[in-house]
Structure 1
Amino acid sequence: MFGDLMGMMGKLKETQEKVKATKERLNHVSLEEKSSDDLLKVTITANRKIKSIQIDDSLLADKEQLEDYLILTLNKAIERATEVNEAELAAVAKEGMPNIPGMDAFLK
């Protein structure tokens, strides 16, 4: 029994290290989101850090329109980055979970 417990503890520690490495790797995964007409482009990491925003000159004439574009495009970029982040971290965490009967129900 204690051998299994020590093995599980080692596996959990290994999983923690893999999660940490995955979080670091996600700092370097860039995603690009554009407005529907390509007038605004946002680049964001999978850890939800904005890297750049490119604004077409035509949007600079109308402050309200630019604000709307920014809100919509930034929210889409953050949502997409969150999906990638959560999927990557969930895959690493699930891979490293010890085989405990009934745990599959909690991971779904």
Structure 2
Amino acid sequence: MRDLMGMMGKVKEMQAKMEQLQEDIAAARVEGVSGGGMVTVEMTGKGELLSIKIDPTLLSGDDAEMLEDLIVAAHRDAKDRADEKAQEMTQEITAGLPIPPGMKLPF
């Protein structure tokens, strides 16, 4: 019975850590860059777009399609960085737990 109580305590502790992890990921800020720094996107760890910075030289041309592609590429870069950061944060909390390979946390 004591083992069951200990396990329940650990489950509650892990649940609290996972809730904090989700809050930390949501509060994290990442930056994505494309075009050698000509377009920069900032977003939260949950994917909320916060800002876009565009080099003024891109605005003077007639190539809107290139600018659109650079914005999409910068967003993709930021999203990839957010995913990596979330994975790193998750690994710190779940270190030592027997989690099956490929299982992504937080859910």
TM-score, reference length from structure 1:
0.78
Greater mean deviation of Cα atoms: 45-54 or 79-88: 45-54
Separation of aligned partners in 2, 1:93 and 1:10? 16
Question: How many angstroms does 1:107 deviate by?
Answer: 5.1
Q: Specify the alignment match of 1:25 in structure 2.
A: 24
Question: How many angstroms does 1:74 deviate by?
Answer: 0.8
Instruction: Supply the RMSD in Å over aligned alpha carbons.
Output: 2.0
Residue pairs, 1:1-108, within 5 angstroms: 2-60=1-59, 61=61, 62-94=63-95, 97=97, 103=98, 106=100
Higher helix fraction (1 or 2): 1
The runs of 5 or more residues in structure 2 that have no matched partner are: 103-107
Identity score, percent:
32
Post-superposition Cα deviations, 1:55-84, rounded to whole Å, max 9, x if no partner, equal: 122223321101110121111110110111
Paired positions, count: 100
The runs of 5 or more residues in structure 1 that have no matched partner are: 98-102
